[in-house]
Chains A and B, each alone.
Chain A
Amino acid sequence: MTPLLYARAQMGLSLAFHIVFAAVGIALPLLMVIADVLWIRTRDPDYLTLTKLLAKGTGILFAVGAVSGTVLSFELGLLWPTFMGTFGPVIGLPFALEGFAFFTEAIFLGIYLYGRGRVSERFHLFAGIVVAASGAASAFFVTLVNAFMNQPAGLTLDIAGHLTGYDPIAAMWSPPWRHQVLHVLLASYQATAFAMVAIHAALLLRDRTSGLHRKALAIALSLGGLAAVAQPISGDASAKAIARQQPIKLAGAEAHFTSGPRAPLEVGGFADVDRRRVDGAIRIPGGLSFLAFNDVDAPVIGLDAFPRADWPPVRELHLAFDAMVGTGTAMALIAVLAAALALRRRALPDARWFLRLLVASGPLGVVALESGWLVTEWGRQPWIVRGAMRTADAVTSFPYKAAPFWLFTITYLFLGAVVVYLLWRQIVSSHHAGVSAPEPGRAV
C-alpha cells in the first residue's frame, strides 16, 4: 500500500469505528430518557429496569465513543497536517461548538449515570434530556464540517486553486448542511433502534412472557420505525440536492457514465469503470432522471462530463450506495409492516415469524450508516475539500505510515470484540433479570 492509502485506511478505520459509537451516543440516551419518562409516569418497574440497562449500555458505549473521538481530533493533524494547516481555521468554529456540546454531554452523562438517588428525580431526568439533546447537537456541528468538505462555501481561491481568503461563517453553513444533518441524525436513531429491536426481539423469542422485553421492543420499534420511514424521504431530498450541488458524486454513486436525457437508474450490479458500464444491474429507464429531477426526461450529468482524474472510485461507491439504499428500503418496508400489524392487532406484533424478521434486521441500520458514510466520503474523492485541496496533497510527510495503521487496526479490532462480548454478557444477564425480576418487582 502507498503511504496515502495507509493514511486513508487509518482515517477510514478510525471513523468507521467511531461512527457506530457516535450514533449510539446520540440515540441511546434518547431511548434511555423515553424509558425513564415512562417509569416516572407509570411507575412500572420494568421501565426502571429498562432505563437502567440502557444507561449501563450508554456508559460503556459513550466512553468508547469519547476516546475514539479524541483520537480523530488528533488524527486530523497526524494524518492530514496540510489540510488542517490550511483549513483548520475555516472549520474551527463548528468544531469548537461541537466541543461545547460534547462537554455538556459528558457532564450531564456523569450526573445521569452516577446521580440516580443523589439528585432529585426531576433533575436526574433533566440531565438525561440534556445528554440526548447535546448528543444530537454534537452530530449537527460535526456534520457541518463534513458538508463544508463536500461542497465548500465562503472560500476565495486563486487561479492555481490556492486558498487566498475565506469567510468562516459562510463556510460553516456550506450548502449540503441541511440534507446531510437530517440524514445523519435519522441514520443514528435508526441504526441504534434497529439493533435494540433485534436484541429484544431475540430475547422475546426465548421468553414470550417477559414484560420487560415487550416494552423495550415497543419503544425501540417505534423510534426505529419512525426514523426508517422518514429516512427515504430525507434520502430523496439528498439525492435531489446532490444532483444540483455535486453532480459528479451522484454520477459516481449511480455509476452513471454518459450524460444525457432520460438517464436510467442502475439498481445493483458492478460498475466496470474501464468499459464504462454496469454489469448485472437492473436497469430502470429514466429512473435516475426522475430520482434527481422528478422528470423522466430530464438530462442528468454523467461522469463523462468530468476529467478522469477527478472521478471518485466508482466501483466501490456504487456498491456502497446500493448497500445504503437497499438496507434503507428494507428497513422502511419492515417499519410499514410493523405499523400495519400493530394497527390490525391493536397491540405489539409478536408473531414468531415477525420477531425472527426483526432479529434478522438488526444489522441493517449499522450497515446503512456505514455504507452511507462511505458514499459521502468516497463520493468526494479525490478531494479532501472539493475543488480546493486534493487528498493526496493533504497527507502527512511522516514516512512510517504502516505502523500507526496497524496499531490502530489491532486496537480497534480488539476493542470492538470486547464491546460486543460485554454487551452480549449484559444482554444475557438482562434476560435473566427479565425472567426473575418481574414478580417481586410487580409486588412493590
Chain B
Amino acid sequence: MPSEVLLGGVIVVALMLYVVLAGADFGGGVWDLLAFGPRRARQRQAIEHAIGPIWEANHVWLILVVVVIFTAFPAAFAALSTSLHVPLTLFLVGVVFRGSAFAFRSFTGGAGAGDPGDGRGERGQHRWGWIFSLASLISPLLLGMTVGAIASGRIRVEHGLVAGGFVRPWLAPFPFAVGLYALALCAFLAATYLAVELEDDPELQWDFRLRAFAAGVAVGGCALLAFLLSGSGAPLIRDGLTRRPWTWPLHGLTALVAIGALVALVRGRLRTARVLVVVQTVAILAGWVASQYPFLLVPDLTIWNAAAAHETRIWLLIVLAAGVPVLVPSLAVLFRVFKMGTFEGTSGRGREKAHRDAQ
C-alpha cells in the first residue's frame, strides 16, 4: 500500500480514537452544563470522576493528528491553518479553558481531591464548572465546523496560496450542521459511557440512559440535516456520499447500528449500547472519509499532491510503528485501572464502588 494512503489511514484512525475517547470527555462537559433535576450535583460528580484520570491522555490523539498532517502532508496543513484560522483559534481557546478549568476544579476541592476546606471551595468549583462546560460545548462545535468547511469545497488553493476568504468557508449552514452533528455525537458517547459506568447507582444510571437516548435521536436528526444541506453546501461530498456504489452499504450499516444503539438503550442493554455507539461513531467518520477520499482539502489538495517527500513518509511510518508498542500497553493499563469494572466481571465493579464509598 502506498505510504500516502497508510499515513492518511493513520490520521483517520487517530481522529476516530480522538472522537471516541476525547469526544466523550467533551460530551461530559455538555452534560455538566445540562445537569438538572434533584441529582444535579451527583451527575456532575460522576462526570468528573469518569473523565479525571483519562482526559489528558485522550487529548493527545489530537496532537498526533496535527503532527502527522504537517509531517506527511505539509501543504494541506499550511492551507488548512491559513484558511481556517478563525475557527481553529476559537477551538483552541475552548481547549485551553476546558482543560485548565477542569484541572482547577478537580484539584481545588473537586469531587476527587481532599479539600483543605476553607469555605471557598464550592463556589469556586461552580464557577470553574461553568467555564469547563461552556468550553466543552464550543470546542466540538468548532471542530465539526472545521470539518464541514474542509468538505465544503469552498477553500481553494491556487498556486500554493489560499483563496476563498477567511470566514465564508466555515460560517455557512452546512459546516454549522456538521458542527452540531459533532456536538450531538460527543454528548451521545458521553451519556452512553456514563450509563455503563454507573451500574452501581440506578438513579444516576437512569438519568444518563435517558440523556443518551435523547442525544442518539439528536445525532440522527443532525445526520439528516447535514445530508440535506450537503446538496448545496458540499456538492462533491454529496456526490461521494451518494454515487459511489460502495458507500451505500456503509450508510446502511451506520443507520442499522444507530437504531440498534437506541434499541439497546431502551432495553437496558447498556454494554451492548456502548459497543454500538462506538461502532456508529467509527462508521460515521468512515463514511465521511470514504466520500472525501482521496481529498485532504476538497477540491484542490489530495493525499497525492500534498504529500511530503518519500523519505520523510517512510521515516514517519517507522517512528509511528515504533511508538505503538509503547503506547498500546500504556493505554491498556490506564483504562484497566480506571475503567476495569465496566468491561469485566464484578470484582472490578466492587472496587469502583469501594473507591466511591471511600470518598
Which of B59, B82, B326 makes the CB contact (< 8 A) with A70?
Answer: B59
Q: Does A56 contact B (CB under 8 A)?
A: yes
Complex interface bits, B88-101 against A, C-beta within 8 A gives 1, otherwise 0: 11001101111110
Main secondary structure of the interface of A (DSSP, over half): helix
Of the residues B52, B71, B99, contact of A114 by C-beta under 8 Å: B52
A71 to B74, Cβ gap below 8 A? no
Across the interface, which residues of B come within 8 angstroms of A432, CB to CB? 116
In the assembled complex, which residues on chain B have CB atoms less than 8 Å from the CB atom of A97?
319, 323
Say whether B99 contacts A63, CB under 8 Å. Answer: yes
In whole angstroms, how far apart are the Cα atoms of A379 and B329 in the complex?
A: 42
Q: Is the CB of A415 within 8 A of B308?
A: no
* A63: nearest chain-B partner, CB-CB: B103
Task: Given A63-B103, A111-B337, decide whether A99 and B64 contact each other with a Cβ distance below 8 A.
Answer: yes
Q: How far is the CA of A63 from the CA of B162 in the complex (A)?
A: 34
Number of A-B contacts (CB under 8 A): 217
For A441, the chain B residues whose CB sits under 8 A away are none
CA distance A418 to B77 in the complex (A): 33
Contacts of B355 in A (CB 8 A): 117-118
Which of B74, B93, B97, B327 is close to A100, meaning CB atoms less than 8 Å apart? B327
CB distance from B265 to the nearest CB of A (A): 28
Find chain A residues with CB under 8 A from B106 CB. 59
Q: Is A106 an interface residue (CB 8 A)?
A: yes
Residues in chain A near residue B327, CB distance under 8 A: 100, 103-104
Say yes or no: is B72 at the interface (Cβ < 8 Å to chain A).
yes
Residues of B contacting A67 in the complex (Cβ-Cβ under 8 angstroms): 59, 95-96, 98-100
A399 to B64, CA, bound (A): 28
| Interface members, chain A 80-131 (any B CB < 8 Å) | 81-82, 84-90, 92-93, 95-97, 99-100, 102-104, 106-111, 113-115, 117-119
Q: A67-B100, A96-B71 are in contact. Are A56 and B107 (CB under 8 A)?
A: yes
Q: How many chain-A residues does the 8 Å CB contact rule pick out? A: 71
The residue in chain B whose Cβ has the minimal distance to the Cβ of A69 is B63
**Does A330 interact with chain B (Cβ within 8 Å)?**
no
Interchain CB contact (< 8 A) of A92 among B72, B104, B113: B72
* Residue B263 lies at the interface, judged by CB distance under 8 Å to chain A: no
Contact of A93 among B316, B330, B331 (CB under 8 A): B316
Q: When the two chains form the complex, which single residue of A85, A399, A433 contacts B74, counting CB atoms closer than 8 Å?
A: A85
* B residues in contact with A95, CB < 8 Å: 67, 70-71
Taking CB atoms, residues of chain B closer than 8 Å to A113 are: 53
Binding site for B on A (CB under 8 A): 56, 59-60, 62-64, 66-71, 73-78, 81-82, 84-90, 92-93, 95-97, 99-100, 102-104, 106-111, 113-115, 117-119, 165-169, 396-400, 404, 407-408, 411, 415, 418, 422, 425-426, 429, 432-433
